[in-house]
A and B are shown apart, each in its own frame.
Chain A
Amino acid sequence: MTYFIAFAIIALLAVVVVQIGKLSELASRIRGEEAVEKSSNTTQGMALIVFMVVFLGASVISAWYYKDYMLGYGPLTSASAHGFELDHIFNVTLFFTGIVFILTHILLFWYSYKYRNIGGRKALFFAHDTKLEMVWTVIPAIVMTYLVANGLIAWNSIFPTLTEEDKYLEIEATGYQFAWDIRYPGLDGKLGNKDFRLIDLASNSLGIDWRDEASADDIILGGTDKIILPKDSTIKVRITAKDVLHNFYLPHFRVKMDAVPGLPTSFIFTPVLTTQEFRQQLSKYPQWQEPVDPADPNGPKKWETFEYELACAELCGKGHYSMRRVVEVVTREEFDTWLAGQKPFYGANIRGTEADPWAGKKVFSYEKKARASELRSDINTFIADTTGTASNAFPLKFVNFDEKGILLSEVAGAELDVLAEIVKQKPSMKISVTVTAANAEEAQAKAEQVGVYLSSKGVTAQVTGVASENQSADSKAANKVEVKIISK
């Protein structure tokens, strides 16, 4: 029924339209076509003038009304260093195009009105005028040259070539349907290699190549964690995609670059306002002082909940509109603290699993650091203990041997060096090292190697080799190395 009514209304409108047409033709036949045409010319000419006034007026007024959303005006100024330059060029262009827009529209509509045919006048024969044409070829050319020069200078400064000496933080953003993964380089400042063939959604969703040592301390943000960036630091975002094209778009920072599968791109920018500072800036504007929830006037105000955002700006499928990630800019100190508190993905998820290519072969500097401080605090706890409940045995995790049974001194050093350092500081301390291996001979040989290493660091230890009770245990489990403190 609804459809019938809708159809009937449309049909009725069509009839009305046809009748208007018929009526107007009848009217013009009665009044004489020429007279009708001339009076119509005047009506239409006036209408064009009215339209021009309303249109130009509306364009200026609407620009004023929405000025807070325009580039370089109002509260939403650029949050990055290069953005100011860009906003400036935008406004220079707006100035020149604005003049042309208004002048040409005035001429177009004014001439249309002024030269309407009302009879009694002959049109000019004005076919060309070389001087005039030169003027309006040369002037746009000069203005364009100015705009192009400005634009290109800015453009080339936005895409500098960074060298090793430049200090910058390189992070990586990987787009996929329909979210972003963010990776930080960790202590070494380098992002490890990755390869899409290594992607395993359960354990390695980015396909990071753990054989690359640089990847061992890389930090991968959790799915909805804020992207934390340091203020006033050069940031190079390496932008990649896993499946289809995406676009890394930070509207507040004037940053935009496609994420292309198979072709890493990058964008370099410097945030100049922390999230807090940006909020302070917003708080000066009345529209940002309104409460977020109109029903709750005492709740948080709009400026208090402002966040920088990361969006996708290249159509990537049905969830394209939802790839949001919050970005937070903090001071460099806050950033360093935050970064230090992040656990490398490798250490937390890969170390010691089957996927770990470095098991027993290498200890990474951050792991050495962590293990050293762990061992140091364990031993110190024992030393400080007066109740006698603390164990005097400390299993060593990194003291390993290669296939031929030779001590991997580089790896073992992580713990043995700490041990040596503590013992040297306390000359009264005596220690013993026990190595458990498949048979007594092998165990003894390995234990002696540990002894040799320690003595090279200037520490003497009793070393003992013990045959493993469980003969069938694999050699890894059998290679148990334990240090005991015999006397404090």
Chain B
Amino acid sequence: MANVTVHEEDVLIKDNGFDDHFHEHHHGDKYQSSFIFHYIFSMDHKIIARQFLITGMIWAIIGAAMSVVFRLQLGFPEESLTWIKPFLGKWIVVDPTTGIGKLAPEFYYALVTMHGTIIVFFVLTAGLSGTFSNLLIPLQLGARDMASPFMNMLSYWFFFLAGIIMFYSLFLSTGPFSGGWVAYPPLSALPQASSGSGTGMTLWLVSLTFFVVSVLLGGINYITTVLNLRTKGMSLWRMPLTIWAFFVTAILGLLSFPVLVSGFFMLIFDRSLGTSFFLSDIFIAGQALDRVGGSPILYQHLFWFLGHPEVYIIILPAMGIVSEVLSVHSRKPVFGYRAMVYSIMAIGFLSFIVWAHHMFMSGVNPFISNFFVVFTLIIAVPSAVKVFNWITTLYGGNLRLNTPMLFAIGFVSMFISGGLTGIFLGNSAIDIQLHDTYFVVAHFHIVMGVAAFFGMFAGVYHWYPKMYGRFMNETLGKIHFWGTIITAYAIFWPMHYLGMAGVPRRYYSFDTFDAFRHFTEMNKFITVFAIIAFFIQLVFVINFFYSIWYGKKMKTKNPWQATTLEWTTPIEPIHGNWPGKLPVVHRWAYDYNKDDREYVQQHVPLNEGEVGDH
């Protein structure tokens, strides 16, 4: 018996399943009846997941387009940008004599700031964790829906509201906020310091506060669902690694985002109510301000107390997805399941005590940095364990090198490349030279930007059949993968050399300095590949939307022959996920090729003498 047939699967759930009498009540149906409640104000986690994903994709396109515009400035500073004046208006300053249009420096900084804010928060937090936590937590745990579907809906709509406010700020006459995505005061606190620090910053703060509300509503839901709504037999040690990753991610978010909000509130007070939490000894625009006693460094502590866990909020879901995808498409159990779980926990815990490694050069006491160096570099150990375990998962497998698998392999490559440069930056002595240079830009783009995108792409290609009942096109997927991995390395690898040469990040132009202006050719190279990378992503977007309606149909419930519970639900998704009873779990999530069976799903009862856990 190589395969459990669809028929037998249903019988198993029907006979052994856990009856929660869900379908005897009709509490969910009224929300599903009309178009508005079915597709817009939906409380169904599967719809909400898709809402997060598509909203995230829209933001990703906006954020990526911004990077293309500022890369044009950096790569081709001599070229005229007059042709984008119809879109950017006064932000393209045309020299009246030569007719050459240039990006205004204020707007360059606004673009850099918005690019960071959008990608970090809207795409890689909401778009990644929001999508897959929503989709997979109930489905893989055997739950009917989230613990609170209503809060789940609110979570999306707060995110939507945050997005609307941020989008609106792009059209202000003074421009959106332009002080960097970290929004360090006093630059962010004083409208006289920068044109973007006026209304643009106010809207930035309001938008992100709503965003945090969204994250918290989502996070509480994810945690509650994981703790309370696991189906019978689904012990914590039987949960797939995806769920472990989403669970720890949600805890990180719940503990760290409120700290960010407290920082935001103090910043709002400093901006509007005349307090001095972050301000002291400031003389600006010809005036000495009546603000003393505050410390700009306090804000940095509050910001990075979120900011560092935030990078793990971004990367942990990607790690979970990759662990799952690698295992399914290798036809092997993920290697060292327990070690993987412990390393997720270790990374999650450590992420709270390393925040000041972003601040070695901020003026904090150098002695304090000793502790942060030690804790930071300890993170390398669980990270290394994860990498070795992923590689060993491939060893001796029977690999399907399809698009999700390729992206998962690409993720591991990116995570290695970007993770190793973290060892340089986490060591404070080396950080003296590399801090705030392009080395940092290369490091975090590879390790949490590109890598997280790879995890997200792996997840989208893998669970697309679960979301839309159809497959995305494989050929286009492979074009997308190869185009992305090549261009991503072509963009970010050279930046290491820029950073080692000392070129600082957030420079509008490198011509002012002898030391930084040697790299014209390299900057052109990076920009050209950034443009290509942008268009390659459009292949994905087209593939995504085309496949929703015209993709190859999913004919069996479990097209990847995976073991987890989401593949026992009907092809046509229903409210409550399972018709009739909930499946009961008898084994862990990775029984691939354990005996003569190629794979055994989690709800299949144990044979005599068989062990269900590992």
Given A20-B475, A108-B413, A262-B280, answer yes or no on A97-B423 (Cβ-Cβ < 8 Å).
Answer: yes
| CB nearest neighbor in A for B425 | A93
Segment among A314-322, A331-339, A437-445, A461-469 that sits at the interface with chain B = A314-322
Tell whether, in the assembled complex, residue B546 and residue A320 are in contact, meaning their CB atoms are under 8 Å apart: no
Q: Mark A36-77, 1 if CB is under 8 A from B, else 0.
A: 010011001101100100010011001100100111000010
Tell whether, in the assembled complex, residue B546 and residue A315 are in contact, meaning their CB atoms are under 8 Å apart: no
Chain B CB within 10 Å, residue with most, of A48, A89, A96, A124: A124
Residues of the A chain whose Cβ atoms lie less than 8 Å from the Cβ of B486 = 51
Cα separation A45 to B336 with both chains bound (whole Å): 25
Q: Which of B179, B381, B435, B518 contacts A144 (CB 8 A)?
A: B381
Tally B residues with Cβ within 8 Å of A.
Answer: 129
| CB nearest neighbor in A for B400 | A117
Assess whether A2 is interfacial by the CB under 8 Å rule. yes
Tell whether, in the assembled complex, residue A123 and residue B283 are in contact, meaning their CB atoms are under 8 Å apart: no
Cα separation A317 to B194 with both chains bound (whole Å): 6
Tell whether, in the assembled complex, residue B395 and residue A24 are in contact, meaning their CB atoms are under 8 Å apart: no
Given A123-B332, A245-B184, A245-B187, answer yes or no on A265-B363 (Cβ-Cβ < 8 Å).
Answer: yes
Tell whether, in the assembled complex, residue B500 and residue A207 are in contact, meaning their CB atoms are under 8 Å apart: no
Given A125-B593, A260-B296, A263-B363, answer yes or no on A115-B395 (Cβ-Cβ < 8 Å).
Answer: yes
Residues of the A chain whose Cβ atoms lie less than 8 Å from the Cβ of B497 = 62-63, 66, 69-70
Q: Which of B279, B397, B482 contacts A47 (CB 8 A)?
A: B482
Cα separation A83 to B434 with both chains bound (whole Å): 12
* A173 → chain B closest CB, angstroms: 13
Tell whether, in the assembled complex, residue A311 and residue B504 are in contact, meaning their CB atoms are under 8 Å apart: yes
Cα separation A346 to B478 with both chains bound (whole Å): 71
Cα separation A2 to B601 with both chains bound (whole Å): 57
Q: Which of B185, B370, B504 contacts A156 (CB 8 A)?
A: B370
Assess whether B284 is interfacial by the CB under 8 Å rule. yes
User: Which A90-118 residues have a C-beta within 8 angstroms of B?
Assistant: 90, 93-94, 96-97, 100-101, 104-105, 107-109, 111-112, 115-117
Assess whether A242 is interfacial by the CB under 8 Å rule. yes
Q: Mark B396-419, 1 if CB is under 8 A from A, else 0.
A: 111111100010010011001100
Tell whether, in the assembled complex, residue B397 and residue A124 are in contact, meaning their CB atoms are under 8 Å apart: yes
Assess whether A221 is interfacial by the CB under 8 Å rule. no
Tell whether, in the assembled complex, residue B391 and residue A313 are in contact, meaning their CB atoms are under 8 Å apart: no
Chain A interface residue bracket vs B? 35 or more
Assess whether A251 is interfacial by the CB under 8 Å rule. yes
Assess whether A426 is interfacial by the CB under 8 Å rule. no
* B305 → chain A closest CB, angstroms: 18
Tell whether, in the assembled complex, residue B398 and residue A316 are in contact, meaning their CB atoms are under 8 Å apart: no
Chain B CB within 10 Å, residue with most, of A23, A242, A244, A265: A244
| CB nearest neighbor in B for A41 | B401
User: Which A132-182 residues have a C-beta within 8 angstroms of B?
Assistant: 132-133, 136-137, 140-141, 144, 147-148, 151-152, 154-156, 158-159, 176-177
Residues of the B chain whose Cβ atoms lie less than 8 Å from the Cβ of A320 = 109, 506-508
Tell whether, in the assembled complex, residue B391 and residue A111 are in contact, meaning their CB atoms are under 8 Å apart: yes
Tell whether, in the assembled complex, residue B397 and residue A242 are in contact, meaning their CB atoms are under 8 Å apart: no
Tell whether, in the assembled complex, residue B187 and residue A315 are in contact, meaning their CB atoms are under 8 Å apart: yes
Residues of the A chain whose Cβ atoms lie less than 8 Å from the Cβ of B538 = 13-14, 17
Tell whether, in the assembled complex, residue B373 and residue A141 are in contact, meaning their CB atoms are under 8 Å apart: no
Tell whether, in the assembled complex, residue A243 and residue B539 are in contact, meaning their CB atoms are under 8 Å apart: no
Q: Which of A45, A123, A196, A243 contacts B193 (CB 8 A)?
A: A243
Cα separation A311 to B501 with both chains bound (whole Å): 13
Tell whether, in the assembled complex, residue A137 and residue B385 are in contact, meaning their CB atoms are under 8 Å apart: yes
Given A104-B391, A262-B296, answer yes or no on A199-B288 (Cβ-Cβ < 8 Å).
Answer: yes
Q: Which of B179, B433, B479 contacts A254 (CB 8 A)?
A: B433
Tell whether, in the assembled complex, residue B363 and residue A108 are in contact, meaning their CB atoms are under 8 Å apart: no
| CB nearest neighbor in B for A72 | B500
Given A262-B292, A320-B507, answer yes or no on A37-B427 (Cβ-Cβ < 8 Å).
Answer: no
| CB nearest neighbor in B for A96 | B423
Tell whether, in the assembled complex, residue B542 and residue A108 are in contact, meaning their CB atoms are under 8 Å apart: no
Assess whether A256 is interfacial by the CB under 8 Å rule. yes
Assess whether A201 is interfacial by the CB under 8 Å rule. yes
User: Which B546-567 residues have a C-beta within 8 angstroms of A?
Assistant: 546, 552
Residues of the B chain whose Cβ atoms lie less than 8 Å from the Cβ of A309 = 513-515
Assess whether A348 is interfacial by the CB under 8 Å rule. no
Tell whether, in the assembled complex, residue B398 and residue A123 are in contact, meaning their CB atoms are under 8 Å apart: yes
* A181 → chain B closest CB, angstroms: 12
Assess whether B35 is interfacial by the CB under 8 Å rule. no
Cα separation A24 to B339 with both chains bound (whole Å): 41
Residues of the B chain whose Cβ atoms lie less than 8 Å from the Cβ of A132 = 392
Residues of the B chain whose Cβ atoms lie less than 8 Å from the Cβ of A257 = 361, 363
* B92 → chain A closest CB, angstroms: 15
Q: Which of A44, A97, A112, A316 contacts B187 (CB 8 A)?
A: A316
Tell whether, in the assembled complex, residue A108 and residue B435 are in contact, meaning their CB atoms are under 8 Å apart: no
Assess whether A4 is interfacial by the CB under 8 Å rule. no
Q: Which of A24, A100, A322 contacts B475 (CB 8 A)?
A: A24
| CB nearest neighbor in A for B503 | A251
Q: Which of A13, A14, A44, A318 contacts B406 (CB 8 A)?
A: A44
Q: Which of A86, A127, A242 contacts B432 (CB 8 A)?
A: A86
User: Which B188-209 residues have a C-beta within 8 angstroms of A?
Assistant: 190, 193-195
Tell whether, in the assembled complex, residue A86 and residue B283 are in contact, meaning their CB atoms are under 8 Å apart: no
Cα separation A124 to B428 with both chains bound (whole Å): 43
Given A70-B497, A76-B501, answer yes or no on A196-B288 (Cβ-Cβ < 8 Å).
Answer: yes
User: Which A239-254 residues have a C-beta within 8 angstroms of B?
Assistant: 239, 242-245, 247, 249, 251-252, 254
Tell whether, in the assembled complex, residue A155 and residue B339 are in contact, meaning their CB atoms are under 8 Å apart: no
Tell whether, in the assembled complex, residue B500 and residue A128 are in contact, meaning their CB atoms are under 8 Å apart: no
Assess whether A367 is interfacial by the CB under 8 Å rule. no
Assess whether A374 is interfacial by the CB under 8 Å rule. no
Q: Which of B332, B389, B500 contacts A124 (CB 8 A)?
A: B332
* A10 → chain B closest CB, angstroms: 8
Residues of the B chain whose Cβ atoms lie less than 8 Å from the Cβ of A129 = 335-336
Assess whether B59 is interfacial by the CB under 8 Å rule. no
Assess whether A452 is interfacial by the CB under 8 Å rule. no
Residues of the B chain whose Cβ atoms lie less than 8 Å from the Cβ of A107 = 391
Residues of the A chain whose Cβ atoms lie less than 8 Å from the Cβ of B424 = 90, 93-94, 97
Cα separation A316 to B561 with both chains bound (whole Å): 54
Residues of the B chain whose Cβ atoms lie less than 8 Å from the Cβ of A258 = 361-363
Tell whether, in the assembled complex, residue A256 and residue B435 are in contact, meaning their CB atoms are under 8 Å apart: yes
* A406 → chain B closest CB, angstroms: 38
Residues of the A chain whose Cβ atoms lie less than 8 Å from the Cβ of B420 = 97, 100-101
Assess whether A31 is interfacial by the CB under 8 Å rule. no
Assess whether A261 is interfacial by the CB under 8 Å rule. yes
Tell whether, in the assembled complex, residue B401 and residue A148 are in contact, meaning their CB atoms are under 8 Å apart: no
Assess whether A307 is interfacial by the CB under 8 Å rule. yes
Assess whether B41 is interfacial by the CB under 8 Å rule. no
Q: Mark B336-368, 1 if CB is under 8 A from A, else 0.
A: 111100000000000000000000011100110
Residues of the A chain whose Cβ atoms lie less than 8 Å from the Cβ of B489 = 55
Assess whether A255 is interfacial by the CB under 8 Å rule. yes
Tell whether, in the assembled complex, residue A261 and residue B363 are in contact, meaning their CB atoms are under 8 Å apart: no
Residues of the B chain whose Cβ atoms lie less than 8 Å from the Cβ of A76 = 501
Cα separation A122 to B593 with both chains bound (whole Å): 7
Give A contacts to B, CB under 8 Å: 2-3, 13-14, 17-18, 20-21, 23-25, 28, 37, 40-41, 44-45, 47-48, 51, 55, 58-59, 62-63, 66, 69-71, 76, 83, 85-86, 89-90, 93-94, 96-97, 100-101, 104-105, 107-109, 111-112, 115-117, 121-129, 132-133, 136-137, 140-141, 144, 147-148, 151-152, 154-156, 158-159, 176-177, 196-197, 199, 201, 207, 239, 242-245, 247, 249, 251-252, 254-258, 260-263, 265, 305-307, 309, 311-322, 324
Q: Which 3 A-B pairs have the closest CB atoms?
A: A262-B280, A251-B502, A124-B396
Q: List 17 A-B contacts (CB under 8 A).
A: A37-B402, A41-B399, A51-B485, A83-B433, A97-B421, A104-B387, A117-B401, A125-B592, A125-B593, A154-B429, A158-B366, A176-B283, A244-B193, A247-B361, A261-B281, A312-B504, A315-B184
Q: With contacts A18-B546, A105-B413, A257-B363 known, what are 15 further pairs, Cβ within 8 A?
A: A17-B538, A23-B475, A41-B401, A83-B433, A108-B409, A116-B401, A126-B333, A126-B395, A128-B338, A158-B432, A176-B283, A207-B283, A244-B186, A260-B296, A320-B109
